[in-house]
């Protein structure tokens, strides 16, 4: 009974207002890479989906969206039920064909190369990857530059995929194709569009 209840509860309290609020935050984040934008706790999705990832999913996913989710999420009946009930998404089993990807376990995350990169004619047909993290004060600081950043910006998510700098450099190298990233923290989000250049911050 509790699992069934979890599926229906925990969505936006005001669907229109909350989704607009999160959408504006996402647009601001994409326009200003690495900028941390607080959105509070707008959802209470079942584990392992975080409140912020749930809010992003409820904003971006719909019945036309193809979404790839990692094993901790697909293995959770309440989590998948919640996503389907609140977004109507279509689950895609192949990350390279998905419009969105939802990642809860960065240790087991496929390489960025595994996701859809779009085509030369339709670079927008790439995957937007939503990665769940704890916070934005992690041990590895990155220096970001590029469009939307005046000079440089320091960015330190609590977790990063393995070989992230190398993967991201390769991703940026195929511009205008390539994936975009949304980082979903505890109550805030940030983004890295494919135009962003990164390097490890010098000590």
pLDDT score recorded for residue 31: 98
More confident residue, 11 or 170: 170
Full set of structural domains in the chain with CATH: 2-200 (3.40.50.11310)
- How many angstroms separate the CA atoms of 53 and 42, rounded? 10
What average pLDDT does the segment 59-65 reach?
Answer: 95
pLDDT band at 9 (very low <50, low <70, confident <90, very high): confident
146: left (phi over 0), alpha (psi -120 to 50) or beta: left
pLDDT at 180 over 90: yes
**pLDDT, position 162:** 86
Instruction: Give 126's DSSP letter.
Output: B
- Find out whether 141 and 201 touch, Cβ atoms under 8 Å: yes
The three-point CA angle 199-202-203 to 5° equals: 150
What are the tokens at 105? 């376990």
Residues 11-33 have a mean pLDDT of 96
Q: Of all residues in the chain, what percent carry a pLDDT higher than 70?
A: 96
Q: What is the mean pLDDT of the chain?
A: 94
Write out 129-152 in H/E/C secondary structure: EEEECCCCCCCCCEEEECCCCCCC
pLDDT in tens, 100-120: 999 999 999 999 999 999 999
pLDDT, one tens digit per residue, over 137-178 is 998 899 999 999 999 999 999 999 889 999 999 999 999 999
CA–CA separation, 134 vs 129, rounded Å?
16
Question: Please, what is the Cα angle at 86 between 105 and 51, to 5 degrees?
Answer: 45
Distances (CA, A) of 172 to 3, 68, 80, 122, 165: 41, 22, 32, 16, 10
Residue 113 phi/psi, 5-degree rounding, is: -60, -25
Query: pTM for this one?
Result: 0.94
Please check the confidence at residue 1 and state whether its pLDDT lies above 60: no
Token pair for 151: 């000079």
């Amino acid at each position: 009974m509790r699992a069934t209840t979890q599926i229906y509860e925990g969505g936006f309290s005001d669907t229109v207002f909350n989704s607009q609020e999160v959408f504006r935050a996402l647009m601001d984040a994409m326009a200003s890479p690495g900028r941390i934008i607080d959105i509070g706790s707008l959802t209470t999705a079942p584990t392992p989906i975080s409140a912020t990832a749930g809010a992003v999913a409820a904003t971006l996913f719909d019945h036309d969206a193809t979404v790839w989710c990692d094993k901790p999420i697909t293995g959770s009946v309440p989590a998948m039920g919640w996503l389907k009930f609140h977004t109507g998404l279509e689950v895609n089993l192949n990350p390279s064909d998905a419009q969105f990807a939802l990642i809860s376990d960065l240790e087991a995350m496929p390489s960025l190369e595994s996701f859809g990169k779009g085509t030369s004619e339709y670079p927008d047909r790439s995957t937007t990857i939503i990665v769940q993290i704890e916070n934005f004060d992690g041990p590895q600081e990155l220096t970001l530059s590029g469009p939307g950043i005046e000079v440089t910006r320091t960015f330190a998510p609590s977790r990063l995929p393995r070989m992230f700098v190398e993967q991201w450099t390769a991703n940026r190298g195929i511009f205008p194709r390539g994936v975009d990233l949304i980082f979903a923290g505890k109550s805030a989000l940030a983004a890295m569009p494919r135009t962003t250049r990164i390097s490890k911050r010098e000590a």
